[in-house]
Amino acid sequence: MADKHYVLFEEQQKDRGINLDEVKEKLRTIKIETPSWGYGDSGTRFKVFQQEGVPRDPFEKIEDAAQVQKHTGISPGVAIHIPWDYVDDFTKLKAHAEQHGVHLGAVNPNLFQDDEYKFGSVTNSDPDIRRKATDHLLECVDIAKTVGSKELSLWFADGTNYPGQADIRKRKHWMYECLSEMYNALDEDMRMLIEYKFFEPAFYHTDLADWGMSYNMAQKLGPKAEVLVDTGHHPQGTNIEHIVAYLLDEKRLGGFHFNSRKYADDDLFAGSLNPYELFLTFYQIVSALYDEDAGVQKNAKSIAYMLDQCHNLEAKIPAMIRSITNVQTLYAKALLINLDEVQQAQEKQDVLAAEHAVRKAFEFDVTPLLRVVREEMGVPADPMAAYLESEYGEKILKRGKGGASW
Ligand code: LRH
Ligand code: MN
Ligand code: MN
């Protein structure tokens, strides 16, 4: 017997001209990777609080990620960070992931934790250090090939703290040189996703500070380079949806690192603070999925969705489940926007009607829809409740304290 809430919902959406079969198909096929580092302990520069039951190695991180996939059904990929997730034999890690029903996703090189990188990695004025950094990038390309991952997510902490500290233009050239070498090592079906962030740890200038710089770098490198938008990496008030629309139109939107922020790069869990912003981001994506330009559609379909967040206080697996269901909820709401209605209002230049056509989709309760989609996918209708009822959270406590941290 169909759920009575869903029956009502279905009728309501049909009356609005929404094709629920298409909506459901999109909700089943979106995939959101979880970050291996979000399963470990993290904190602020003041304190890392250790939790009990935190994975002690990359294999256990994969096991925890598999729980998120088991309960949500839309998070089969696990992004890894090298060397945080360094193992002697990556084929073993790959096999371990597959045994647990997940796979290794984007490979994130880490060029910010070695002493040599104090004054920069790929933009360091010392050619030996740039060589070391480039070799690490190449090593990560090899790891991606070994584990069958097609994406490399690149974020550079490189920057300076004071005016005059270094030559900004030279650094730009050095970065391009190093990244070109990496670009040439990619297989045809691989891509590098170039992330940007306006400050931290550098406080005066950061070599790739905004989407324009990442876009420019990607364009110079070639079609296998795209831009990665981390939602926590912009100054307050930035219109992220606009950046997303612009990159989609340029066919250069590689992916997302979803997380929430209140002040800086807070890495709070996705959808906790800014649900309307995430909804409006998905509005741009949904509208691109139906664009008449096949290239824009193709870009919208190939977006790599990833979480990038830390759980300093909250339990990690449930926080990850909550984020996935939050992203799914906001995507579902954006899929309820009647794009024809928006377009008609735009043609009449009716500002109030256009805004209303977008916002009213946000106001629908999509719980009945998501329950049905999940049941059809064979995952729990309420992933969080099902996880909390499972014994996994208890079981991992035997790992004790002092697991992986960064
Ligand atoms: C930088 C960043 C980047 C890193 C991750 C740990 O702030 O967003 O993606 O690799 O955090
Ligand atoms: Mn990030
Ligand atoms: Mn970040």
- Can you tell me which atom of ligand 1 is nearest the CA of 108? 10
Check if the beta carbon of residue 227 is closer than 8 Å to that of residue 193: yes
Q: Is 108 in the pocket of ligand 1 (CB under 6 A)?
A: yes
Check if the beta carbon of residue 372 is closer than 8 Å to that of residue 8: no
6 CA distance to ligand 1 middle (Å) = 39
230 CA distance to ligand 3 middle (Å) = 7
- Can you tell me which atom of ligand 1 is nearest the CA of 406? 6
DSSP conformational letter for 186? S
- Can you tell me which atom of ligand 1 is nearest the CA of 110? 10
Share of the chain above pLDDT 70, in %: 100
Supply the pLDDT for residue 405. Answer: 87
Supply the pLDDT for residue 406. Answer: 77
Q: Any idea which residue has 């979880």 for tokens?
A: 34
212-229: pLDDT as tens digits: 999 999 999 999 999 999
197 CA distance to ligand 3 middle (Å) = 7
Total count of residues recorded for the chain = 406
378-392: pLDDT as tens digits: 999 999 999 999 999
Nearest Cα residue to atom 3 of ligand 1: 155
Nearest Cα residue to atom 1 of ligand 1: 155
Residue of 277, 39, 318, 265 whose CA lies nearest to 157: 265
Supply the pLDDT for residue 333. Answer: 99
Nearest Cα residue to atom 7 of ligand 1: 265
Supply the pLDDT for residue 375. Answer: 97
Report the helix count and the strand count for the chain, using DSSP H and E.
16, 10
Q: Residue 256, SS3?
A: strand
3 CA distance to ligand 2 middle (Å) = 39
Q: Is 265 in the pocket of ligand 1 (CB under 6 A)?
A: yes
Give the pairing of strands 205-206 and 159-160: antiparallel
Supply the pLDDT for residue 1. Answer: 58
Cα–Cα distance between 12 and 14 in angstroms, integer?
6
Average pLDDT on 46-63 reads 97
Pocket test for ligand 1, best of 137, 230, 231, 268 (most atoms within 8 A of CB): 230
Q: Is 308 in the pocket of ligand 1 (CB under 6 A)?
A: yes
Predicted complex ipTM: 0.99
Check if the beta carbon of residue 150 is closer than 8 Å to that of residue 138: no
157 CA distance to ligand 2 middle (Å) = 11
158-213: pLDDT as tens digits: 999 999 999 999 999 999 999 999 999 999 999 999 999 999 999 999 999 999 99
DSSP conformational letter for 225? E
155 CA distance to ligand 1 middle (Å) = 6
Ligand nearest to the Cα of 260, by number: 3
61-86: pLDDT as tens digits: 999 999 999 999 999 999 999 999 99
Does the pLDDT of residue 396 top 70, yes or no? Answer: yes
Report the chain's mean pLDDT, rounded to a whole number: 97
Q: Is 226 in the pocket of ligand 1 (CB under 6 A)?
A: no
Using only the alpha carbons of the chain, give its radius of gyration. 22
Q: Any idea which residue has 């926007």 for tokens?
A: 337
Q: Does domain 30-319 bear CATH number 3.30.310.50?
A: no
Q: Which range is least confidently modeled, 304-313, 362-371, 397-406?
A: 397-406
- Amino acid in position 223: P
Q: Is 266 in the pocket of ligand 1 (CB under 6 A)?
A: no
Q: What residue segments make up the domains of the chain, in order of their start? A: 30-319
129 pLDDT tier (thresholds 50, 70, 90): very high
Beta-carbon-side half-sphere exposure of residue 324 (alpha carbons within 13 Å):
32
- Amino acid in position 381: A
Pocket test for ligand 1, best of 36, 113, 121, 155 (most atoms within 8 A of CB): 155
Chain centroid to CA 236: how far?
20
Average pLDDT on 268-296 reads 98
Cα–Cα distance between 181 and 166 in angstroms, integer?
23
Q: What share of the chain is helix, strand, coil (3-state, %, to 5)?
A: 50, 10, 35
Supply the pLDDT for residue 103. Answer: 98
Ligand nearest to the Cα of 306, by number: 2
398 CA distance to ligand 2 middle (Å) = 31
Q: Is 195 in the pocket of ligand 1 (CB under 6 A)?
A: yes
Q: For Cα atoms 138, 205, 37, give the angle at the middle one, nearest 5 degrees.
A: 50
Q: Is 155 in the pocket of ligand 1 (CB under 6 A)?
A: yes
251 CA distance to ligand 1 middle (Å) = 23
Average pLDDT on 235-255 reads 98
- Can you tell me which atom of ligand 1 is nearest the CA of 310? 6
- Amino acid in position 62: I
